[in-house]
Structure 1
Amino acid sequence: MLNSSVHANATIDCNSGPTNIRVAKSNSNGVRLEWDLPKTESCYGRTDIVVILYLKDGSTKVYTVSRNTTFLDIIGLDPDKGYTAAFSLGYGEQRMGNMQFSFQTAAKEDSVPTAAIIGGVLAAVAIIGLLIAIFIVLLRRGRLEPVRRRLSRFTVRYRNTVKGQSNQTYVPSTYDDLYIYGGMKFDDRQTWHMNRDDVVFESLLKSGRFANIYKASLHLSSKKRQTVVAKSLKEGFTEKDKELMMAKINFTGTQVGNHPNVLKFIGAVIDDEAIGPFIIFEYCENGPLKDYLESQRNNVTMQLQEKLFRFGLDICKGMEYLVSKKIVHRRLAARNILLTSMNEVKISGFGPQNFELDDNDGDSEKKERIPIKWMAPECLNSTAGATEKSDVWSYGVVLWEIFSLGESPYQNIRSRDLPARLKKGERPYKPELCDDTWYGVMQRTWSIAPEKRPTFAEIRVELDQLFVHSAGDDYYYYKR
């Protein structure tokens, strides 16, 4: 149901703010606001869009979206009520302009008369009795599986229907990945669906806020076993937790594919009622890149420096591949890069949009915890608008971690002070083990304007020119 009772008659300073603001969708508890972006670049190109919603109790809610975003979903509103939102442009705590925009939510549908409710209840009781009888017959005859498949197809179609009707749940587009991948069903068993009996948990490697990570053994045959990592839900998990894990499993199984510098997805077990669904990855013996870098601080050699160069190139290759799959990482950092026993780079820690089960940063669906010192300026308030170019900024910080051997960036700056310092042009200093070429790459990734940052493909082409293969091994050597 679209709502036509909207108006906007103010302007924003610099003639650079959103125009033609309108209600695209509306129901009884939420709306989607859309707008057009200016055709010319001006002061708007250096800012975010800040929306302040004025509530009936006198309080406000503040939403900050990337300057390239053209919509905002607002939920949790009262039915058939008028609201006012103020649009302005801002960077950090500074604001420019104030456009007032009014809209009204849709009314609730009329309640069903009592007599109709009583009649409906009686009819429902009769239908339920009939369905139970049919269920028992189907169960005994082994006919339930085709019925389940038909219901699964209907569920997927329903969840992918455009939201906003009065009898459906209004779901913000930011969270669509949860409903797409968390509710995804398959008509047939997938090759990556594994039998629970083939996986043996051996030891707990790490316990996070949301999941436990175990070293496990995968039985490939009666004589062949493979050491793997199993990521499972923590004790006391909820149905929502299970849906989050299924979103991660289905996303990884259908979207990621294989690349030598991306953590390999081996499979998943989805039918264990006791511990819930869990996902199986390749085992990386040398653990997180950050831990490895810290362990090498007293072992700086030419060979180590060559490894650092190779880490930087291979991470770029892995990220270029993820871009080709239309995957945005959002949390690229040395702690989310794993190393095999041969110190091969494996990128991990990414997943469905805004629903990554990140054991370092917690459950993002409950409260998004943003790794501020790794994030691009346009994503400091929310990662919802993250793009390849924001991942490129994070890649520059990872390079800094590599050449500083695992130091934390901006050590003397508090996270809350960082936006203002970045705006003034402050960037991480040149690490001791870094030369001008690599630091030049970092500096280009830290352009305040995303469009001025290189793509991963452009960075990879540049770095490829700095390396040659050495006969007899797989290491890259830097051209002096």
Structure 2
Amino acid sequence: MVASGAELGWLTSPVEHGWEIGQRAVNGSLLYNYYICNVEEREQDNWLRTTFIQRHPTASRVFVELRFVVRDCNSFNADSLICKETFNLYASEADADIGTAFRKGLFRKVATIAPDEISSLGEMKMNIETKVVENLSRKGFYLAFQDIGACVAIYSVRVYYKTCPATVKSLAVFPETVAGGENQALREVAGSCVSNAVSEDQPRIYCTTDGEWVVPVSQCQCRPGFEAMNDTCQECQSGFFKSSVSSEACKPCPKNTQPSGPGATSCTCKDGFYRAPEDPEIAACSGLPSAPQDLVASTAQMSIGRLQLSWRPPADTGGRSDITYAVVCERCEGRACQPCGEKVRLDPSNTDLKETRVTVSELEPHLNYTFTVEARSGVSQFSNKRATISSNLTVLLPDPPKVTAMHLVDSSSTSLSLQWSVSHRSKPVATRYELMYRKKEIANGKVTTYTVLVLEKNSVQISDLSPSTVYLFKVQALSPEGNPGSYSLEQEFSTLPQGEQSQNKSVGLLIELFFFYRRRNSHTRQGPEDTYFSSPDQLKPLKTYVDPHTYEDPNTAVLKFASEIHPSHVTKQKVIGAGEFGEVYRGILKAPGRKETAVAIKTLKPGYTEKQRQDFLGEASIMGQFSHQNIIRLEGVVTKFKHAMIVTEYMENGALDKYLKDHDGEMPSFQLVGMLRGIAAGMKYLSDMSYVHRDLAARNILVNSNLECKVSDFGLSRVLEDEPEGTYTTSGGKIPIRWTAPEAIAYRKFTSASDVWSFGIVMWEVMAFGERPYWDMSNHEVMKAINEAFRLPAPMDCPSAVYQLMLQCWLQDRSKRPRFGDIVSILDKLLKSPDSLKAIADFDPRVSIRLPSTSGSDGSPFRSVAEWLESIKMSQYSENFSIAGIVSMEQVLQMKSEDIRNIGVRLPGHLKRIAYSILGLKDQTSTLI
């Protein structure tokens, strides 16, 4: 609001020799002002008070814009002048106009007004200053200007407050809103959807202290039949429609539909056109398909009772792509036709066929078959019309030959040779025979079981028979397609008594036959060779690791366990890291006879000593002994040239700890457990080879493009000795305290059990998405905590079964820890029963949310939002909080999960991390209170 003019009625104190009303011509206009210029007198205290200014009920902050002139003290000639070049602004609140009553003590100082430009006697330069009066709460207020010895002229005083103007955003109407003050940097404003728009949640937006709208929450969308246009929802035009609540525009009615009227939510199909139940309302309507074309029966296999039907798709599909076919088979004798029934087989099926062919088998001879093929689509169910094509054909199949006679060719006490005759038609066909025989005698009142032989020729020699025993035989012929003929009459033949020779000296017949015995209660047994077809994880390695340090010449170990590669076959492409001995490259290996392979190339930096070279190649001597899908694969080494190299398979996703940090919250527990299973399988392989890794950690696990994890970095690994406990004692050297078992730290004794402890830490790293074990605790604090039975708490959203396995790996008594074989079995069971991962371990934010801390580095609460976000490794969201006006930790403590999501935190893991941190901060704050 602006107050100006000659008669303002402002109060002056003192009345005499204080502020006065003046006027001055500027650019041809006469401007009024309040002025004072008592620079010759000491101890000036001159006040100018405005009239009562009514306050808007919600405006707690107002702005005071002053236009004024202050004269330069140097422009006065007198030497003894006590001159000032500033004056003061005061304010006082009241619930009613107190008239001319004036008490200086009721006023509080707002600001000292100092001009940017100080006027001399020459051309006037107007100063403009804007000051803020905060925390107003009563019905109105007064402003006052105090002069303490300056030459000042005030030309205008403009008092105003800022508002966020009435607006429409995302089809939501928000009223004009007075901006908040410092204590309410963002003022939440509820809005309402425009006519014919809806929203799941009430639209909200925030008004900043500068009168700007930010962070709109929950958008409105137009109802079905309406579209957004010029901040309103308007009806769809005729011939257009919109079927759902959305922000999309109306769409033209699709093909084969009737024109719609205004505000249509759908377009109905024309007569003869339909939509399938699964078709959306926006889909075009479809017609029925026409009949299939050119039905053909291929009779090349007719002789064995099979044929193939094929046809071409319909000329008109009705505008659909979901065409399927159904084949109906009818068997006709004379004029009577009936369904073929289950005996006739159609492969792959007789309905829902997507291919335009089908194989028909088990057809009977001398019958007429009719095949009808129908084309169907998703809309065929809406019409009684059928799109079919038929084909009639007669199937003539050859009958199997008949067995006409069977006679004995030769006999002995333990064998019989038989032969039989068959009747052939004019065109012989290949025939097999089924021979059945049994002892004639009856044992225990039951007839002995027949033995069945399937033969390729019409003769047979049967051995291993009992002497002086009568056997009954019968035989039938089988057609090429397997159809049986009728059995011959059952005939008797006897073996000779024990010791008698055959009376028929003719050479016995040696018959090639393929036979099988039809026996009841038959069983299959697994032979010893079947174990070689078991999973690699179920096999114990056939060899034991050999420590390359046992070789007098380490170079011998390298040549024994690693393949030599010519450097010309290796191409370096890009540096991807740095190891203990030199840089690591991504490159290409192109060996003769092999296709190009992406590899990782470890190099030895220049200036190395012979011992460094031996230590460098020693890792290759170790890796070269391993062959497992979860152990990094050694491709070979370069040792016979100046620049030594170790070449391994390339793992596209790098180290596991970094990969997890980069994908925090993006992978479900089931996938994380699958990665742990792979690591455990690799460690089982190593332990089965009597090998201890000593440095198992997520940083030493590599991940390929299939998210398959492989154990790597064998620089600290050592062989187990032959002593009962299988330990290796080191002398000096660094130990990764956070990953190392307590007995290995205390006594420097490493076993597979200490590797199991390390695996438990790796499990924690994986489930915590690469979080640092024990956070910011020092190594000394870690050792002290472990010895006092402290164990890492469950990470956020960690399945209870997985955390229980971690605790088993961290048992103080190493003999009670699970073995890697047990761990693999447990993880396999969890993966086979995904429901077992749904129970989540208890999560205590007071402990677990040390990410790394719930307070500043000095133990005090965080001093800023940025400092807090940095401590929980969420600094990437600092700008989101700032834009949303969340600028103080007090505001952070008021946030809920929905508020965190609304400022742009979308990843589930990040959302939970921030929410749990706020929960931990609240708990800490309440404890301090």
TM-score with structure 2 setting the length: 0.29
- Counterpart CA distance in 2 for 1:290 and 1:222 is 36
* Alignment partner of 1:267 out of 616, 633, 636: 636
1:430 and 2:794 matched: yes
* Alignment partner of 2:785 out of 404, 407, 421: 421
Question: Residues 329 and 223 (structure 1 numbering): CA distance in 2 closer, same or farther, change over 3 Å?
Answer: closer
Question: Residues 180 and 430 (structure 1 numbering): CA distance in 2 closer, same or farther, change over 3 Å?
Answer: same
1:239 deviates by 0.7
* Alignment partner of 2:765 out of 385, 401, 423: 401
- Counterpart CA distance in 1 for 2:558 and 2:830 is 49
1:351 deviates by 4.4
Please, which moves more after superposition, 280-289 or 236-245? 236-245
1:353 deviates by 4.4
Structure 2: 5+ residue stretches without partners: 1-546, 720-729, 839-929
1:375 and 2:375 matched: no
Q: Which has the larger radius of gyration?
A: 2
| Contact 2:693/2:716 (<8 A) preserved | no
Note the 1:231-250 alignment, pairs <5 A: 231-250=602-621
- Counterpart CA distance in 1 for 2:788 and 2:738 is 15
- Counterpart CA distance in 1 for 2:561 and 2:718 is 25
1:245 deviates by 2.0
Note the 1:164-183 alignment, pairs <5 A: 177-180=548-551, 183=554
- Counterpart CA distance in 1 for 2:552 and 2:683 is 22
| Contact 1:177/1:352 (<8 A) preserved | no
Question: Residues 237 and 465 (structure 1 numbering): CA distance in 2 closer, same or farther, change over 3 Å?
Answer: same
Question: Residues 270 and 343 (structure 1 numbering): CA distance in 2 closer, same or farther, change over 3 Å?
Answer: same
Corresponding letter in the other structure for 2:690: K
- Counterpart CA distance in 2 for 1:431 and 1:331 is 22
1:325 and 2:692 matched: no
* Alignment partner of 2:589 out of 192, 215, 218: 218
* Alignment partner of 1:280 out of 647, 658, 667: 647
Matching residue of 1:207: 578
Note the 1:435-454 alignment, pairs <5 A: 435-454=799-818
| Contact 1:178/1:352 (<8 A) preserved | no
Question: Residues 192 and 377 (structure 1 numbering): CA distance in 2 closer, same or farther, change over 3 Å?
Answer: same
Per-residue Cα deviation, 1:238-290 (whole angstroms, up to 9, x for no partner): 1111111232222222x22x1111111111111112x2x22111000011110
Matching residue of 1:103: none
Matching residue of 1:7: none
Corresponding letter in the other structure for 2:576: L
| Contact 2:548/2:554 (<8 A) preserved | no
User: What SS does structure 1 have at the residue aligned with 2:556?
Assistant: coil
- Counterpart CA distance in 2 for 1:187 and 1:180 is 10
1:376 deviates by 0.3
- Counterpart CA distance in 2 for 1:330 and 1:339 is 20
Question: Residues 393 and 211 (structure 1 numbering): CA distance in 2 closer, same or farther, change over 3 Å?
Answer: same
More helix by share: 1
User: What SS does structure 1 have at the residue aligned with 2:668?
Assistant: helix
1:291 and 2:658 matched: yes
Structure 1: 5+ residue stretches without partners: 1-175, 356-364, 470-475
1:215 deviates by 1.0
Per-residue Cα deviation, 1:145-173 (whole angstroms, up to 9, x for no partner): xxxxxxxxxxxxxxxxxxxxxxxxxxxxx
1:197 deviates by 1.3
User: What SS does structure 2 have at the residue aligned with 1:185?
Assistant: helix
1:427 deviates by 0.6
Per-residue Cα deviation, 1:338-367 (whole angstroms, up to 9, x for no partner): 110111111101247469xxxxxxxxx997
Question: Residues 187 and 313 (structure 1 numbering): CA distance in 2 closer, same or farther, change over 3 Å?
Answer: closer
User: What SS does structure 2 have at the residue aligned with 1:263?
Assistant: coil
Matching residue of 2:669: 305
Question: Residues 268 and 477 (structure 1 numbering): CA distance in 2 closer, same or farther, change over 3 Å?
Answer: farther
Matching residue of 2:774: 410
Corresponding letter in the other structure for 1:305: S
- Counterpart CA distance in 2 for 1:191 and 1:235 is 22
Corresponding letter in the other structure for 1:244: D
1:307 deviates by 1.6
- Counterpart CA distance in 1 for 2:629 and 2:795 is 28
Corresponding letter in the other structure for 2:705: S
User: What SS does structure 2 have at the residue aligned with 1:332?
Assistant: coil
1:180 deviates by 2.6
- Counterpart CA distance in 2 for 1:479 and 1:411 is 26
- Counterpart CA distance in 2 for 1:181 and 1:435 is 50
* Alignment partner of 1:463 out of 822, 827, 831: 827
Question: Residues 389 and 221 (structure 1 numbering): CA distance in 2 closer, same or farther, change over 3 Å?
Answer: same
Question: Residues 323 and 414 (structure 1 numbering): CA distance in 2 closer, same or farther, change over 3 Å?
Answer: same
1:178 deviates by 3.1
The higher-RCO structure (CA 8 Å, 6+ apart) is: 1
1:235 deviates by 1.9
Please, which moves more after superposition, 306-315 or 205-214? 205-214
Per-residue Cα deviation, 1:175-230 (whole angstroms, up to 9, x for no partner): x7535386252798877221121111222111233232111111134883111011
Question: Residues 338 and 477 (structure 1 numbering): CA distance in 2 closer, same or farther, change over 3 Å?
Answer: farther
- Counterpart CA distance in 1 for 2:558 and 2:652 is 36
- Counterpart CA distance in 1 for 2:738 and 2:763 is 13
Note the 1:59-70 alignment, pairs <5 A: none
Corresponding letter in the other structure for 1:468: K
Question: Residues 210 and 354 (structure 1 numbering): CA distance in 2 closer, same or farther, change over 3 Å?
Answer: farther
Corresponding letter in the other structure for 1:452: K
1:345 and 2:706 matched: no
User: What SS does structure 2 have at the residue aligned with 1:467?
Assistant: helix
- Counterpart CA distance in 1 for 2:558 and 2:781 is 52
Question: Residues 342 and 416 (structure 1 numbering): CA distance in 2 closer, same or farther, change over 3 Å?
Answer: same
Question: Residues 197 and 434 (structure 1 numbering): CA distance in 2 closer, same or farther, change over 3 Å?
Answer: same
1:448 deviates by 0.9
- Counterpart CA distance in 2 for 1:187 and 1:394 is 28
- Counterpart CA distance in 2 for 1:204 and 1:477 is 43
Corresponding letter in the other structure for 2:631: V
Per-residue Cα deviation, 1:388-430 (whole angstroms, up to 9, x for no partner): 0000000000000011111111114210122221111101011
Matching residue of 2:278: none
Corresponding letter in the other structure for 1:433: D
Question: Residues 188 and 259 (structure 1 numbering): CA distance in 2 closer, same or farther, change over 3 Å?
Answer: closer
| Contact 1:204/1:213 (<8 A) preserved | yes
Corresponding letter in the other structure for 1:287: G
- Counterpart CA distance in 1 for 2:750 and 2:567 is 36
| Contact 2:623/2:632 (<8 A) preserved | no
| Contact 1:181/1:251 (<8 A) preserved | no
Question: Residues 182 and 280 (structure 1 numbering): CA distance in 2 closer, same or farther, change over 3 Å?
Answer: farther
- Counterpart CA distance in 1 for 2:822 and 2:694 is 20
Per-residue Cα deviation, 1:28-67 (whole angstroms, up to 9, x for no partner): xxxxxxxxxxxxxxxxxxxxxxxxxxxxxxxxxxxxxxxx
- Counterpart CA distance in 2 for 1:225 and 1:260 is 20
TM-score with structure 1 setting the length: 0.54
RMSD, matched Cα = 2.9
Per-residue Cα deviation, 1:273-310 (whole angstroms, up to 9, x for no partner): 2x2x221110000111101110122x43xx53222111
Please, which moves more after superposition, 215-224 or 374-383? 215-224
**How many residues were matched structurally?**
283
- Counterpart CA distance in 1 for 2:757 and 2:561 is 36
